């Protein structure tokens, strides 16, 4: 019982820590864009999320040493061209923002092609076990929703950067992005409460904790597998 409580608190701490990092990154990024200038470290900071995400992908790639070497070469290229990047710092933040949104869009969208299992369906399997046809259909639609949302947000980001200017774009990219995703997450949960019976759905916090607990399984497991519940329990 004590171990379970400790695990719950650790998950809560990771979620809180992750949220704090997101807020700090957004605040620093927005300040850099509004200030109209950024130092070398400030510009390279723009690529921190992409570098962290790509490092995780390289570590899971095969052959691992090759992908890690390519990742190191990319880091070396960024450092070598740091002066050029600093001269065009706003573009660096645009690349980071659109790159992250595009990666997230592809992460969801690639699981929609048969015979793969949609990403939200996989998460639901990890929480509930086997899915009813109704829940399987709903979770597929939710996966489509998130893929479309990230794709549209990437397009809007480019449009605002080119048309509205850096200050307006910076407010959208660094301030509005996370509230938009939070509103969609909450809105989807409210819809789920109306269309999915209580015995087939998880609670709001259970969904949040499940994402925190099982994200490695969602990334590492072959998405074509019909059921992932057993693997999550190993």
- pLDDT the model gives residue 1: 46
What distance in Å separates the CA atoms of residue 212 and residue 220, rounded to the nearest whole number? 14
CA distance 193 to 129: 19
Q: pLDDT-based confidence at 7, cuts 50/70/90?
A: low
Bond into 63 cis (ω within 30):
yes
As a whole number of angstroms, the distance between CA 229 and CA 234 comes to 9
pLDDT of residue 196: 86
Joined together, the tokens standing for residue 29 give 């990024």
Q: Which residues contact 47 (CB under 8 A, 6 or more apart)?
A: 78, 92, 95, 96
Check whether 75 has a pLDDT greater than 60: yes
Q: In what helix (H) or strand (E) does residue 95 lie, and over which residues does it extend?
A: helix 89-109
Write down the mean pLDDT value for the chain. 76
Tokens of 156: 């809007």
Q: Which residues contact 74 (CB under 8 A, 6 or more apart)?
A: 51, 54
Top-ranked range on mean pLDDT: pick from 41-55, 137-151, 190-204: 137-151
Which residue in this structure is represented by tokens 């070598």?
A: 80
- Per-residue pLDDT of 12-39, as tens digits, reads 565 555 556 666 566 666 666 565 555 6
pLDDT tens figures, 158-201: 999 999 988 888 889 888 898 899 899 899 989 988 988 887 77
Residues 6+ apart with CB under 8 A from 207: 127, 189
Which is nearest to 223 in space by CA: 84, 127, 103, 126?
A: 126
Residue listed under structure tokens 């086997």: 130
Entry pTM: 0.70
Question: What is the spatial distance between Cα 103 and Cα 9, in angstroms, rounded to a whole number?
Answer: 30
Q: Cα-atom radius of gyration of the chain, to the nearest Å?
A: 19
Residue bearing tokens 């998130």: 146
């Amino acid at each position: 019982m004590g171990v379970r409580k400790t695990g719950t608190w650790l998950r809560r701490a990771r979620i809180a820590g992750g949220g704090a990092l997101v807020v700090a990154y957004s605040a620093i990024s927005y300040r850099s864009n509004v200030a109209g200038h950024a130092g070398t470290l400030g510009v390279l900071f723009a690529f921190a999320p992409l570098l962290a995400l790509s490092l995780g992908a390289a570590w899971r790639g095969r052959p691992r040493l090759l992908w890690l070497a390519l990742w190191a070469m990319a880091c070396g290229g960024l450092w070598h061209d740091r002066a050029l990047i600093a001269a065009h710092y706003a573009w660096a933040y645009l690349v980071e923002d659109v790159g992250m949104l595009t990666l997230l869009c592809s992460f969801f969208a690639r699981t929609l092609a048969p015979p793969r299992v949609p990403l939200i369906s996989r998460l639901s399997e990890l929480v509930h076990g086997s899915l009813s046809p109704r829940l399987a259909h709903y979770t597929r639609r939710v996966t489509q929703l998130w893929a479309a949302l990230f794709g549209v947000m990437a397009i809007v980001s480019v449009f605002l950067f080119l048309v509205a200017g850096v200050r307006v774009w910076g407010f959208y990219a660094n301030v509005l992005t996370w509230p938009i995703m939070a509103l969609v997450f909450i809105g989807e949960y409210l819809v789920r409460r109306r269309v999915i019976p209580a015995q087939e759905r998880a609670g709001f916090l259970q969904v949040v904790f499940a994402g925190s607990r099982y994200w490695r399984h969602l990334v590492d497991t072959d998405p074509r597998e019909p059921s992932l519940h057993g693997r999550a329990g190993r």
